[in-house]
Each structure stands twice: as structure tokens, then as C-alpha cells.
A and B are shown apart, each in its own frame.
Chain A
Amino acid sequence: MNEKTTMTRALDRALDHEAEKLLACIHCGLCVSACPTYLQLGDENDSPRGRLYLMRAAAEGRLPMTSRALAHHIDLCLGCRACETVCPSGVRYGRLLEAVRADLSRAGTTPGLWSVRFLLNHIFTSPARLRWFFAPARWLRRRAFARRWAEGKFLPARVRLALELLLATMPEEGAPRDERRTIPLVSSGRRARRVAFFAGCVARELFAHTNRATMDVLAAHDCEVEDPSDQVCCGALHAHAGEIETARALARRNIRAFERSAAETIIVNVAGCGAMLKEYSELLADDAEYAERARAFAARVRDVSEYLIEIGLRPGPRPLHLRVTYDAPCHLYHAQRVRTAPLEMIRRLPGVTFVPLTEAEMCCGSAGIYNLRHPELADRLLERKIAHLRRTGADVLLTGNAGCLMHLRRGVRRAGLSMRVLHPVELLALTYA
């Protein structure tokens, strides 16, 4: 096998699988205006159609895998998959993106990822190391000086940004607080339903309060919850960064961990993780031993909003008296195609007035760790979002993804809006109090 064929392998394989799904792009251009990077930059190369064109050129040998243009424009993609939602031809963009990123990573063309790769492959693969890694962060976010540092000028801009995002993981005023890493499991014997909870990696470390609210809500719906002990990070960050083999290894571990649980449904409250878990079947499609098990696993996964609507939502009696708006996480709306459940949920909360948000299905710029890697573009998208948010006059903004929560909270605070940013289950939990 010559070098070129080895290097384009993942893309080629994805293409074989997708039998024409890259070729399915007939270049109609209907997707360009759905693409946040194109709307900001106006460059065909930063549109879905343009990126697919570059991929096709690489697959057909018109561009080498070491092409800087290819690496650059693929790197600037948010992976939000808004293009999939509008593509009439059914192009599976997300899948092709993962494949080309894996190839680029192997070709060593992906820019500036050394430290990120180390974290992904050596820290995020082990719950124990993650815990060690995040312990100082949890300590830091409670310190008054952290805010001063974040607002000060003496730290490098990126460090300040990371600090701001960390501060944005703190629970909002009035929302349930919890610093415990262990999930306060619900199990009182004769519960009507059994579910297994996917606790997430960053979520377990920094969003214990959101996990806690999820438990409260599930308890109120007569669910008995398990927290399978061997579960690990879902691997989404890895897959998006081109570390596809690590993602597969994590997927196999999760599949084994959840196979040991008798619960029919696996509940997840982070959109990005949910999308990944539901796509394990595709990630492991070539794995003889795991392909079928991955399909069975994926079929059990539900976003918490989706599940609650499925079993019949029962909000608590306490009226909230709030104007609430909703921003759809891309990995819920575009990737999982869970579109109405969160809205349905909000509509049924007592005392809540729903105000729609313009461009609610457009990426806020958070996109995993995109906001740390491309802060300038991420901030432009955030500003666009904040401008729309300002016009809603809402008291509360809901969104069901950890990354978006941090990014939006940071944006809302910087803009001086008096708006709380919560996960939908956090608001729902308040109705039971």
C-alpha cells in the first residue's frame, strides 16, 4: 500500500460505507446559508459544500492529505451539522467530517493539537486521572480571586478565557447545588422504571449539580437509576479531533459497562455525549465483535428531554413565574434530531411564558472545545446569539449541553444581561421544590 492510500483510508472507508454519500452532494448550495462559518466568513471554502468539495478532491487525489487548505478549512468547521438538517440529498456530513479528521490527524496536518491530543489520549481516557485533573479546577472556581484573574489583564488571553469558562460551570443562583462527584442515585425498591445514567466525564466533574437535578427529575417520574461503575468518557471530543481509535476504545468500554445493566434505557443529559452514544453503531460498524452490540447499545440511548416526553412528563406543582427562552444545542437538534421534546417540556412547566429565540438552531460557537481553539470566530457567533437573546427579554435561557451552558453563560455575563442560563432539567427540578 503506498502512502497516499494509507493516508486517505478513513475517508475512503467512510465513502465506501456511505456508498456515494459524498458523491450524493450535487453541489446545489442549499446548505451554505445554514452554515455559521460561511455566514461569518463568506468563503465557499468555509461552507459545507466547499468543505465537501475539498474532501472529494482529497478522496479523488486532486489534493494531497497534507494540503494546508484542506486542514485549515476542515479545522474551522464547528461540526454543528446544521448542514445535514437542510441537505435534501441526504449527505452525511458529520460522518465524513470525522473520517477526514482522522486522516488529517494521521497525516499530522491538523494544526496546534499536541497538548489537546495528550489530554484526550491520556487524561480523558481514565476517570481516575480526570478526577485528579479536575480537582484543582473545582477548587479554583469557588475562589473569589479566580474572578478577579479572569477579569484582570495579566494572564494570557487564552488562559483568561479558560478561566471564564470554568467560572461559568458554577451552578446558577437558586439552582440546585452539588459538588459531589458521586451521583445521588435514586433506588427505593419498587420504582416503576429502571434506567441507567450516563454521567459524562466533564459533567461528572463540573456539572454535578446538573446531574443531581436530573436524578431529582427522574425520581419524580418513578425511575430507579443506576450509574454503571465502569463507564468512561463517551469519546465525542476524540472523534471530533480525529482521534478515532481512542474514541472506539472508549466506545467499547462503555458498551461493556452498560451491557452489565439490566435497565432498558440509557439516559444522557449532555447533547454532545448523547449524539456520540447514539452513533456508536456507526463508529464500530467495521468491528466484527462489536458492531451488533454497538447497535443494541445505541438503540437504548435517550436524551433526558426525549425520555421524559416519551414516558409522559409530570412537572411539579410549584409555579415559576418566568419568561423562558431556549437555544437548541446542535448535537441535540441537528445530530440527534431531538427537536420538539425540549420545547414541549418547557411549554408544560407551570407558570412559564415561552419566548422563542431567533436562530435558536444556529450554533452558539461553543462546539466542544472550538471556543478555546478558535476564540475569535467563536466569539463572533456568540455575539450574534447574544444579540438575539437580548431581544427576547427572557429571565432564563435553557440549553441542554454542558459546553453550550458554559459558553452562553460566559456570553450572557459579559454582555451584562440579567439572564440565568440553565439546563432544562434544572428548571424542571425547581417545580418540585
Chain B
Amino acid sequence: MMSWIAELEAILGDEDVITDPERLLAYECDGLSIHKHLPSAVIFPESAEEVVRAVKVLARHRIPFLARGAGTGLSGGAVAVQGGVIFELARMNRILEIDYENQLAIVEPGVINLALTRAVADAGYFYAPDPSSQMACTLGGNVAENAGGPHCLKYGMTGHHILGLEVVLPDGTIITLGGHGADAVGYDLLGLFIGSEGTFGIATKITVRLMRQPQAVKTLLADFLSVEDASRAVSAIIAAGILPSALEMMDRATIEAVEASVYAAGLPTDAAAVLIIEVDGLEASVAYDAERIVEICRAHGARQVLVARDEAERTRLWAGRKGAFGALGRISPDLMVQDAVIPRSKLPEVLPEIYRIAARYGLRMANVFHAGDGNLHPNICFDGRNPEEVERVKAACQEIMHLCVRVGGSLTGEHGVGLDKIAYMPLVFTEEDLEAMARVRAVFDPEGRCNPGKVLPVRRCRAF
């Protein structure tokens, strides 16, 4: 029998099957580089048909595999924990169809999130979910992680914007999910696939909803002298019945890093925290909401509330916000980002506690997050070359996770469980919950070959 590598080469061409360990190195991790595992091979399919044929070869040889988009994931999702084959989908980056009449687009999974919004911008449309990584991450990766972003506060996560999928199952069968109108007929398998973190199969075609650009947008920048004040302002804005399209918080450490980077946005470096608040919609309501937000921020101790004067200023603020995670790289060689959700009302209580945990472990901490959703992203700046410090980072992360769960929160807001959060799953789920999930997974992937070792703890090997 031919080796599986030779079979893959026969399908894709020698050039598009990498097995040289030196060239596999760059594929040993994703955006969260603390988890490193070398795959056995990386392949570069260019069509759904090639994906199907390659998946069938791997099914016959019982080889594990996983899809990879841009590798910006922050939970170790695109890492080959058990070796096996990585399907690099970056070349499947065609926008197949744009249908303004029905407000949808059909794309291949390797299309970059921002590229889609750019492609429809001139016609007055946009694709709403806007992860901070949108200039690089792919729509396939977004579907797999059910990615969020600043504007998901109003518009909802990726899941709200996916109308249909074409999926290659681990045995090579190709199926279509959704795509038949608003209400799912039969089981909502589309909903099931979204956020399955690449463990159910490979999405090869994605139908997304396009939105009309709002008539008016206003972006505000409020700065505060304490993180607690900023947190209270967040709750107060939502409690006042205003639904901003985005409500983001950045603390001082983050502001300093951003202002030192190419994305400097003119943020006040002496503030303890800033809120970036955006409202969009009809001209009149936007103006009214913006006024009320200014009042609320002032009432909660804002030193200053500025309104972006034009599109250029708006873009600058958002570039600063979206470059924040990367900018933190200036502080230290490595960065550990957590992604927990807590009830918004708990922000003033939980945030200071998180800083205290970091201080107790002698770690530098920076917070930049989707405050409106209560989706925290505590970033710990450390040096991975120091094993003792790494241990402290892990211990601090664990305490933070426990804290968030204790106040009624959850493990991940948008980055997924992947490899990184598996250990915490039993914190929020019972044995039975996990068992039910495992059974669902087995329906799609009975042999456990599709992105194995992710999302669900393997109970036989680990004692929780």
C-alpha cells in the first residue's frame, strides 16, 4: 500500500505537502505560543474537492488532522497535539459570490475577515463580527471559534451572521448545513457546528450575512482615574437602556503600550482606564445616545469625554484598540491572555481582585477587553524563558479562572476552549454535561481524529 504521504502528494502535488521537520516548526503553535506540538505534515488544499480527497486518505489510514486558518487563535486550537496533518486553508481565499439583494456573501474559509468587509464597503455594506484580529484571521477560524469582537455587543457573535456552511466530515462526506431561510428545518446543525472549534469537520464554504452600514456613527473616548469608576460607568450605560455598538475598556498599562506602538491613538497615558464607546444607527438617535453617554460618564467620574471628530480619528482609535494585544508585546517577550466572561455588574468587584492576584504572584498585568459584554481579557506579561515565572503565570491564571466562575461567569468569551482551557472545563460542567458533549462529538467524529485533544477533557488520561 502507498504511504499516506505519497497519496497526499499524488492529490496535491509534492510542493503542497510539507513533511520536512524544519518547515513544520512554524506550525507547532498558533497565536498562543505556550502550547507547542509538531504536526506530521502540513498540506495546502486549494478547493473543497482537494479537502475531501485528502480527508478520505487520512480516514483510510486513521490519521488525525485539523484545519488551520491564519493561526491567530488564542487557545491552542490549531495545534496538532497528537501529531497528524494540518490543513492550511489560507489559499482557499476566494469570495465566491456577493448578493446584495439578499444581503449575503458566499466565501471560502480562508477569506480574511477584513477582506470581506473591504470588498463590500463601497456598496455600503459590512460584515459585522470584527475580532480585534480581523486584519488577519479567517472566516473559517471565526466560524470554528464563534469569534466575537468589539461590535458584537450590538450585532452579536459570528454565529448570528452565518447563514450556511459546506462541511467536510472526518470520513470525507461533504454536507450542507443551514442555508434554507431563517428558521432551521430539522435540527439546527449549523448552530452546532459554529463554535465547535474544528472538532466536527472542516468548513469549506461559508454563507455569511452582510449588513447595511449605519447612517451615522459616533465614537467616544472617556478617561477615568480609577478602573472601578470606569467599570461602574459601563454598567450604568447599559442600565440606562442604551445599546452601544461597542463598549471597550483599556487600562493604563495597555494605554502606555499602545501609545508607544505604531498604533498610537492619542490616548491619555495618565488615565487609569479609558472607555471606547461607539453608538450607531439613525442620525438623531445617535446624537441623543451620545449625549446621554457623556452625561453618564461624567457622573461616574470621567475626567474627560471626547468625541471622534471624523472618520480618520475614529479609525485611529479603533486601530489603537485592535493593536492593543500586540502592543503589549513591547512590555515582555511573552504574553498570556485570558478570556473569561463575568456578569457585567460584577466588573467593579472582579477587576481590582484580578489586579491583586497578579500582584500577589509578582506579575505584570494589563487589561483590555469587551467591557460591555463583561468579556475580560486579562493579559499577563512574562518571559517564557524563565520556568519559575511560567509556573507563577499558570497559578495566577488558575486563580483568575476560579474567581470568574465563582461570581457566575464562564471560561471563555470568544477565544474558545481549545487546548488551553480544557483543564477548567470541570469547573463549569458536570461529568454528565461533558459526557453529553462527548456523545455529540462522536456523532460527527466517531474515531476522534478531527482536531483531537481539544475542547473536551480526555477523562481516561487525566484525573480531575
Contact = CB atoms under 8 A, between A and B. Distances in A.
Contacts of A44: 26-27, 71, 88
Nearest to B73: A29
With most chain A CB atoms within 10 A of its CB, the pick from B20, B23, B90, B326 is: B326
A43 B329 contact: no
A29 B136 contact: yes
A402 interface: no
A29 B71 contact: yes
A23 interface: yes
A180 interface: no
A42 B23 contact: no
Nearest to A72: B23
Contacts of B22: 63, 67-70
B333 A23 contact: yes
B213 to A, nearest CB: 19
B334 interface: yes
A38 B112 CA distance: 12
A97 to B, nearest CB: 16
A330 interface: no
With most chain A CB atoms within 10 A of its CB, the pick from B29, B32, B110, B330 is: B330
Contacts of A25: 329
B25 A53 contact: yes
A324 B447 CA distance: 60
A317 interface: no
A23 B136 CA distance: 21
Nearest to A85: B262
B70 A33 contact: yes
With most chain B CB atoms within 10 A of its CB, the pick from A53, A69, A88 is: A88
A54 B28 CA distance: 12
A43 B330 contact: no
A42 B91 contact: yes
The B interface, classified by DSSP as helix, strand, loop or mixed, is loop
A152 to B, nearest CB: 31
A253 B90 CA distance: 46
Nearest to A68: B22
B44 A33 contact: no
A25 B26 CA distance: 13
Contacts of A67: 22
Interface string B135-170: 111000000000000000000000000000000000
B-side interface size class:
35 or more
A421 B22 CA distance: 42
Contacts of A73: 23
B263 interface: yes
Interface in A43-94: 43-45, 49-50, 53-54, 57, 62-63, 67-70, 73, 85-91
A27 interface: yes
Contacts of B91: 41-42
Interface in A163-192: none
Interface string B84-119: 000010110100000000000000001010110000
B20 A26 contact: no
Given A29-B70, A54-B26, A62-B25, A88 B44 contact: no
B262 A28 contact: no
Contact of B133 (A24, A30, A43, A87): A30
Interface string B34-55: 0000000000100000000000
Contact of B31 (A29, A57, A70, A89): A29
B26 A88 contact: no
A218 interface: no
Contacts of A33: 70, 112, 114-115, 135-136
B260 A30 contact: no
A30 B326 contact: yes
Interface string B332-347: 0111000000000000
Contacts of B333: 20, 23-24, 26
A32 interface: yes
A417 B179 CA distance: 43
B323 interface: yes
With most chain B CB atoms within 10 A of its CB, the pick from A27, A53, A57, A85 is: A27
B33 interface: yes
A15 to B, nearest CB: 11
A386 interface: no
Contacts of A54: 25-26
B72 interface: yes
Nearest to A60: B385
B193 interface: no
Nearest to B133: A30
Contacts of B324: 88
Contacts of A90: 260-262, 327, 329-330
Nearest to A25: B329
B325 interface: yes
B115 to A, nearest CB: 8
B329 A89 contact: yes
B88 A26 contact: no
A30 B29 contact: no
A341 interface: no
A320 interface: no
B88 A42 contact: yes
A352 interface: no
B86 to A, nearest CB: 9
B419 interface: no
Contact of A26 (B18, B71, B115, B326): B326
Interface string A380-403: 000000000000000000000000
B271 interface: no
Interface in B238-277: 258, 260-263
A29 B72 contact: yes
Nearest to B325: A28
A25 B71 CA distance: 14
A250 B326 CA distance: 37
Contact of B135 (A24, A62, A86): A86
A31 interface: yes
Nearest to A38: B90
Contacts of A29: 30-31, 70-72, 133, 136-137
A138 B323 CA distance: 49
A28 B23 contact: no
B417 interface: no
A241 B44 CA distance: 30
Given A38-B90, A53-B26, A89-B329, A28 B135 contact: no
A68 B21 CA distance: 11
B26 A26 contact: no
A48 to B, nearest CB: 11
B328 interface: yes
A44 B88 CA distance: 9
B112 A26 contact: no
B326 A63 contact: no
B136 A32 contact: yes
Contacts of B114: 33
Contacts of A85: 262
Can you list the 3 inter-chain pairs with the closest CB atoms, starting with the nearest? A88-B326, A89-B329, A42-B90
5 contacts: A20-B333, A28-B31, A43-B90, A63-B22, A90-B262
Interface of A: 20, 23-34, 38, 41-45, 49-50, 53-54, 57, 62-63, 67-70, 73, 85-91
Given A32-B70, A88-B263, 17 more contacts: A24-B333, A26-B334, A26-B335, A28-B329, A29-B137, A30-B133, A31-B136, A42-B44, A42-B93, A44-B27, A49-B26, A49-B71, A67-B22, A69-B22, A88-B327, A90-B327, A90-B330
